[in-house]
Structure formats: structure tokens, C-alpha cells
Structure 1
């Protein structure tokens, strides 16, 4: 495959970097920012989503696969992880100085915990203010594609609390919904609806990691609030089929992405 690939640092911390890929001999190239999952934990990195990035480059997109501080790293969780993804997306302005990117066509695609961060970023584009994040998202977002995204943090906290000794959501936000209610409100896409950004929600019915009901509840609320949202689901697909470039549900996601970019 003929494409350019390089690592760039968007900050000074170890995990504040991304891998940029772009087809060669292209102009006005749309960009897909990809955010990996792994329940925000440091043992999971951006390698997970590389196959999708390579498939997206073959389809004619530039990709910016971003790493970020996670649970287990100094500064990971609230609010460091959130600040990192804002800074990573804003770094596209610097990449544009050297590469022919079309920043009017930026789509954020995230898987699992990365889907949560992708949806949350859409809320930052609407607010245009720093509040507790201390930095502002300056890059416009054309659409969000959430692949089994953790769209409702309080509900995910409840699910994880059943019969488990640890809770990823509590670790991520620094407390339970009762202990850190303000954080849950500011960090959970479900609480921030409507986002007023085009959203495609993709979820498999056989997902054992993030239940389909989480996305269905988010989708119903978004529709009720007249948000611009679409749903792709397949009863046979599991959590990881969504990031398999050869799966049928990914092909449906890629078709939706193409329609968004060309609209």
C-alpha cells in the first residue's frame, strides 16, 4: 500500500502522541481521527485499531490514530484523558501545515471507550468553552462514528458493579456516581444530548463487553431530542467485529462514513 506514515507528538507526556497516515498523491484529503478502546486502561494501546486505519487509508482518507493518558498512568482519567483527546484533535491544524488535509471534513471514530471519547468530543465542539477542561476544541467535527461506544457512564457503572470487585468507570472518573456526580454529568455523552453533530452508532447484538442496550438507550434519547443520529446493528456481531476491516458490520460503517464525507 502506497501511503505516508509517521509518529507525531501532540504533547510532552509519554502517551501524548499519534500515528498519522495519508495516501500519497492526494489533495484536499478528508481526515478520520481514530480513538482506540480498552476501558481507558493503560494496558491497551492504539495498536488495536491499526487495521481499521490501514483500511481507511486504502479508501482515500487520512487517519490520525491518537494515543492518550489512561488509567494507570500519571494524569490518566479525569481530567487528563479528556484534555488529551482535545489536544490531539486540535493538533490537526499543525499537520495541515505540511499535508493537504481538508479540515472541513473531519470525522471522529472511536471504539468502545474510544467511542465514549468520540461522542464526548462532539459535545466540546458545541460548547466552545473550556470550563473544567481548561482547553477548547478548535477543530470542527463533521460527524462521529461510535463503534460500541460507552455512551452512558452511569449505566455502565451499574453494569460493572454487578458481581465485580473493580469498576473501570469509577477508576476513570475517580468515584461512583454519588461521589462524583458532577464528573458523570460532564463526562457522559448521554447526559450531554443533544450534541447537534451527526452521529452514527454502531453496535453488535452479540457484544459481551458493552451491552447493545447501552447504545439503544442513547439512540432513543437522541431521537427524542431531535439529534442527528443513525444506528447500525447486527445481531451476529460481537465487540471486536466492529474493528475487523473484513466484517460485514464494518463494511456498513465504511459506507456510512463515505456518505457523510461526500455530503
Structure 2
């Protein structure tokens, strides 16, 4: 799906080059089709602080504070097929790079398939509470920052769903332990009014939710045969025919969110096919030849497209 004319260009070139600077070194070509293993060798630094939002050690948010003047905070939900084999660490290169660009990054950890309390809908409960804990921190430290929510792959799926639920209950009550996470029912997910209660709770509003290679059609994804697709039924607690109502509840719907959806996808993603970027009511940006893990690598075309979109929504 081509990006609309309202969206940032994915591949930009300077057509008004100053002849007085003809000897300027040409930047190295940006990457596509980054492998998962390459993410693990990227330059990183430890997080600056940790926020807890529950009693389980996995119920935490790691914060990378911006090292340049910060106008934007990004709350990020990592992917990994919803499996506990993949934690937030594989995206540390992204958090580090964003902080270097002046974007304070909140990396939400959460219980996943294989963890007690993880799976559907427990992982969504954790993510929603982690987002609110992050917003509370933004409000305490710099309430003038613009906040963007984003998630990659399975984390993008959860970020989109969380955006639908943010206004339905006071998520601060969940993070503070005064409301059970089980209160996040299907009615909660579908209610919309995304920023109303949240604004009352933290005085901070999310401007947009970005799905990076996000899984948006969970039922169709569950019918696939790659390793990540095959993990869907374990996360959902059954296949689409046996737990149909769960799959309906777990399908993102932009019409049920006051927070705008923006889907970013590589055209050559072999793990989450590009048709997942086609969602009624959502903006989309497609990176030609982009792969699944490119979004997490700061030398990729996709990373620079992500920066453009964050800047578009955040400043």
C-alpha cells in the first residue's frame, strides 16, 4: 500500500544541493533486510532507570533518557511472537539510538506466553499498565513532552489494542494496585474515548500509536506456518474456531480508538506480511524492500522512516 500524500516520504533525496559543498561525503546507503542476530551486536548502554508496575519482575519499564534536548517521549512495546523467549533486550539498540536523537524511550517489559499471567489477555493487561506507568513518569519529569506509543510485531499488536482501552478505565488505578487488571474486559477494549480518563490521570496524552510490522489480523496470522505464526494459538489459548470471541477481542480496530493509528511496514517482511498494514482508518507507510527487523536497527531505511513519523506526530 503506498503512503498517502499526507505521510512523510520514506526515501528522500536532496535535489537542491549547494554547489559550494560538492565535496561533502556521500552518506553510506541505508540498510534493508537486517537479520535478528545483527540487532544483538548493536551499540547499547544500560537504561537510566527502571519503573515497576507490578509485583512480577517482568512487570517493569526500562527508561532510556534522551541525551539531547527532548521534546518527545516514546513508549515502546517490544515484539517476539508474544513468547517469553524474547524480551526487551533485543531492541536495546533502538532505545539507545532514539535517546541519542533526543527521544526519551520507555521500553515496557511484560509477561508473555510461557510466563505465569502471560498470554491472552494477561499480556495486554501488563502492557496497558506499563504504558500508564510510563505516562505517570513523563508527567512527573516533563509534562510538556509529546508522547507517542509504538510497538513492533507482536508488541505492535498489543500497542494498538492498548490504545483502544486507554480511555475506558483509569489505568493509573491498575498501575497503583487499586484496580484489578481483569477489569480490562472486551467492553473496555472497544469503548474508545482513549485520552479522556488518561488525561485526568496524568495530564499527558498520547498523540499517535505506531505499529511497526504490527500483527493486525490475528485470526489470519494464526493460520500461517512460519514459527511466529505458529506461536499465535498458544498465545490466544486456542485456534480461531475454538476461541472465536477471543480472536475478535484481540483484533485491532482503529474506529474504537481516539488515538490515531499509523502502521509502518517493510514491503518484503517475511515474518508479518505487508497486508497487515492495511487497516481501515489507519495511516500507513510502506518501506520498499524493508524487512521485519529493520525497524530496530539505526542504520536502516526503516529506522529513518520511523524517525520522520515520530517527528511528524511528536513535534
Shorter-normalised TM range? 0.7 to 0.9
The CA distance in 2 between the partners of 1:207 and 1:133, in whole Å, is 34
Give the unaligned 5+ runs of structure 1: none
8 Å Cα contact 1:38-1:113 kept in structure 2: yes
Q: Tell me if structure 1 keeps the 8 A contact 2:82–2:235.
A: yes
Instruction: Please report the RMSD computed on the Cα atoms of aligned residues, expressed in angstroms.
Output: 2.9
Deviations 1:86-108, CA, capped at 9 Å, x for gaps = 110111254246522436x2211
Distance 1:102 1:80, change over 3 A: farther
Match of 2:64 among 17, 21, 31: 21
Q: How does 1:219-258 map to 2 (within 5 A)?
A: 222=280, 227=281, 229-258=282-311
SS in 2 for 1:108: strand
Q: Point out the structure with the larger strand share.
A: 1
Aligned length: 248
Bigger Rg, structure 1 or 2: 2
Instruction: Describe the superposition over 1:57-105 as per-residue Cα deviations: whole angstroms up to 9, x where unpaired.
Output: 12222111010000111111022111101110111254246522436x2
- Change in Cα spacing, 1:57 to 1:172, as seen in structure 2 (3 Å) is same
Moved over 6 A (4+): 1-4, 129-132
The answer on 1:141 being equivalent to 2:206 is yes
Query: Is this contact kept in 1: 2:94–2:296, CA < 8 A?
Result: yes
Q: Name the CA shift for 1:249/1:181 in 2 (closer, same or farther; >3 Å).
A: same
Which digits, 9 at most, give the CA deviation of each residue in 1:165-199, with x for residues without a partner? Answer: x8311111111112111111111115x64534222
Gaps of 5+ in 2: 1-43, 172-179, 189-193, 199-204
Structure 2 Cα separation of the partners of residues 25 and 178 of structure 1: 50
Per the alignment, residue 121 of structure 1 pairs with 162
Structure 2 Cα separation of the partners of residues 63 and 49 of structure 1? 11
TM-score (norm 2): 0.71
Assess if the C-alpha contact under 8 Å between 2:213 and 2:266 holds in 1.
yes
1:68 aligns with 2:110: yes
TM, length-normalised to structure 1: 0.83
